Amino acid sequence: MARDYTINRVPQGAKSEIDYRKELNDAQFAAVTAAPGPALVIAGAGSGKTRTLTYRVAYLLDNGIAPKNILLLTFTNKAAREMLQRVEELVPYETGDLWGGTFHSIGNKILRRHATELGWERSFSIMDREDQKELMNAVIGESEFDTKATRFPKPDVLLDVFSLSKNTGEEIADILHSRYSYFHHLAEPIIALQDDYETKKRQTNSMDFDDLLEKTLRLFHENPGILTHYQQQFEWVLVDEYQDTNTLQAELIDFLGAPQKNVMVVGDDAQSIYSWRGADFRNILDFPERYEGAKRYVIETNYRSVPEILTLANAAIAPNTKQFRKDLAPARPDRQELPGLIPLNDTATQAAFVAQRILELRDEGIELNEIAVLYRAHFHAMEIQLELTKRGIPFVITSGLRFFEQAHIKDVAAYMKFVYNRRDEVSFKRVVKMLPGVGAKSADNLWKEWLACDESKAETVHSFSDVMLGFKIPAKAKSGFEQLAFTLDELVDSEGKPKPPAPMMPSILGGVYEDYMRSKFSNFDNRRQDLLQLQKYSEKFEDLEEFLSQLSLLAGQDAVAATQDEPDSESVCLSSVHQAKGLEWRVVFAVWLADGMFPNSRVIDEDDENQTGLEEERRLFYVAVTRAKDELYLTYPLMWHGSFNGEVIQRPSRFLDDIPTELTEEWNVGTSMW
């Protein structure tokens, strides 16, 4: 019988002299000094999660664990750098051998050593999104399937489907059925293209970001000796933001932590909000079952927000049934001011309220950098952006391009620009290149045919179809080009003059553009909502020239601002809640809190019996309110003219119903006569 024998660790010289008991609260101290074995640390919003992890690393080093035996996994390079830098400041040891970084960076480091085992050279290239699209275009060009004969998904959409399949473990056909139902009938060629894409990556010695996880796992599956080497090296595995892990990441953690099971994961189930990109909420909920005997530590003291905000946050998340119950406790004193609940007449009034209140807060001494406006969907910010611009309030967008810079907004504007200015070559080519089978060369030929028309006829044409249906069209584009010509006919009146912008919108969407959006953009539903909001804005204009001028000026103003603003200049932050996670501000405006907006209508309509989608939306709301340190304003418009059917009466978000009335102060907002 083999004899068990343990070698006691010897500390690496002088200890750090950290007084862990003094530096940490009781819950943090318990987690930091946890005994070997699996541990789940539930760290509530603003409770010092990063502090807990960095002190845990320092504690391990102080107890003789060699840096090379510690693996620290994070989701961002910034988080990894901050934690490793903090560890270096805390301890007197050389920590260069500590493996710390994102899941993808650790996968890359391992694959650089062992790529040949999988058929790649160690010098493999890592493709960014543009590289992936170029390679995907090459694969499509070499395929036998005629992707131009039908409305086939563009490379961006295909890559999103492939990525979801890898990160969730779902079959391509299932993903198409559940998320891209309008392409489900194309499952067979899409699956074939994925196989060709994988082959092409090997031929070009290239990997994408998903490969850095998937290929690392394959390496371990196919090479037990290599897996054993890393299992023996990484005796201690620490994971940040565990609630955001997907299937691949959870499996990687399980592999590396298998022998000793010294796995400590830190996260907050109440902030799991990324299922749409593959994160699996079940990973954190099921951790105690995955790791038998796991200890659970709950850190509930919040150092960020005033008690009034925390009480509201606790009430907001309480209805979720699938969660580790916690009760955020304040470290700060009462502020004697409740969060504001502000119903407003319509979206324009909401924008005016936000802008005016921001100016008042600035006068009260709160810098614009300490103020954020958070929303569920990008189009929710459109009117607020316009109002801030009108009032000269500088702002930055963390959730992507400013509204009028987005591709689908420019696409729709191109239809209108060409109808208004029949000599607008750029707009004409932008529109025709959306059609299947029309590239740069075909677009140029079509433009020459347009110019060849009698100039006076082109300028005053009453029927675009009378002129354009005589053009020489690529066979694959014939049907789409005919529809385009008829769509342009609908954009002018009986005298050939452009209609006002609002009546144009249904014709453009109902013509060829909606199908184009489905194939081009993976977030089709969100972009369609943007266009509905653009239609609402366009109703203010009877004159197309004025509308197009406003669009151009606003987009130009955005572009100038983007080039002139200094990184540290004072400006309000506008952000989606997803992008705001991990950030904080003194004042937060959570806007558009109406049913169908937040939570969004898709979740309300499609939610299953277990309310999986609705519970994630509630977690998203929880993330929004816990970003606020001092002041929180919850707003919603009572009316929204956002559909083609006229005004819609808005019901307050059901999440607001979960908050007792005594936890908020309702504001009655009126409009001055002067």
Catalytic residues: 49-50, 240-241, 271, 627
Place of tokens 């009781």: 26
At CB < 8 A and 24+ separation, what contacts does 481-487 make? 481/432, 481/435, 481/438, 483/511, 483/512, 484/431, 484/432, 484/435, 484/511, 484/512, 486/511, 487/415, 487/511, 487/512
- Cβ(317)–Cβ(65) under 8 Å? no
For residue 666, give the DSSP letter: E
Distances (CA, A) of 113 to 98, 213, 342: 17, 14, 58
From the number of C-beta atoms within 10 Å of its C-beta (0-12, 13-18, 19+), residue 223 rates as middle
Three-state SS for 238-275 is EECCHHHCCHHHHHHHHHHHCCCCCEEEEECHHHCCCH
Strands 70-74 and 99-102: parallel
Backbone angles phi, psi at 310, to 5 degrees: -65, -40
Please say whether the dihedral angle defined by the alpha carbons of residues 264, 267, 270 and 273, taken in this order, is positive or negative.
negative
- Cβ(373)–Cβ(384) under 8 Å? yes
- Say how far apart CA 351 and CA 354 lie, in whole Å: 5
Which three-class secondary structure state does DSSP give residue 340?
strand
Q: Which residues pair with 240 in a beta bridge?
A: none
- Say how far apart CA 549 and CA 165 lie, in whole Å: 44
Helix, strand, coil shares of the chain, percent, nearest 5, are: 55, 15, 35
The string of DSSP letters for 161-220 reads HHHHHHHH---HHHHHHHH-GGGGGGHHHHHHHHHHHHHHHHHTTEE-HHHHHHHHHHHH
How many residues in total does the chain contain? Answer: 674
Which amino acid does the sequence have at 422? Answer: R
Residue 662 tokens read as 């005594």
Place of tokens 């902030």: 271
Strands 646-649 and 639-643: antiparallel
- CA torsion, ordered 457, 458, 463, 464, to nearest 10 deg: 150
Closest CA to 350 of 523, 562, 501, 533: 533
Write the CB contacts of 378 (distance below 8 Å, at least 6 apart in sequence).
399, 400, 403, 406, 526, 530, 576
- Say how far apart CA 551 and CA 549 lie, in whole Å: 5
